Amino acid sequence: MEPDHLLTSIRVVCMNHPRVSALDHVLHLVDDLLFPSARLTLPRCVLFDSPRLFLRVLSALDNDANRCKFEKQQQMRLAMQAAAQRGQLWTVQLLYRRR
């Protein structure tokens, strides 16, 4: 079994057992390992046309303490432009409401 599949399985098991899911910090570490969202930008996510990926990266951007407010706004602006060009109305509406 590949490491990513194994860790994903571990994540699912952890979520389903109350004693383990209480260890929130462990679940966050496993998520960070499985989903390196710091390398993805919002404008790049628009190109994948995946709402789930976009929302995960948006959430990671919101919670990123290493990026300043202006860098976050710039990513949102660029993502809004890319989404408008690709006709992704839901993305444009979501980003417009968050500005």
Average pLDDT (6-12) is 70
What is the C-alpha to C-alpha distance for residues 13 and 99, in angstroms, rounded to an integer? 37
Per residue in 37-81, pLDDT tens?
Answer: 667 889 999 998 888 889 888 988 888 888 899 999 999 999 999
Q: Does the model's pTM come out above 0.85?
A: no
Check whether 95 has a pLDDT greater than 90. Answer: yes
- CB burial string 20-37: b at 16+ within 10 A, e below: eeeeeeebeebeeeebeb
pLDDT value at position 91? Answer: 94
pLDDT value at position 4? Answer: 61
5-9, 19-23, 54-58, 61-65 — most confident range: 54-58
Check whether 13 has a pLDDT greater than 70. Answer: yes
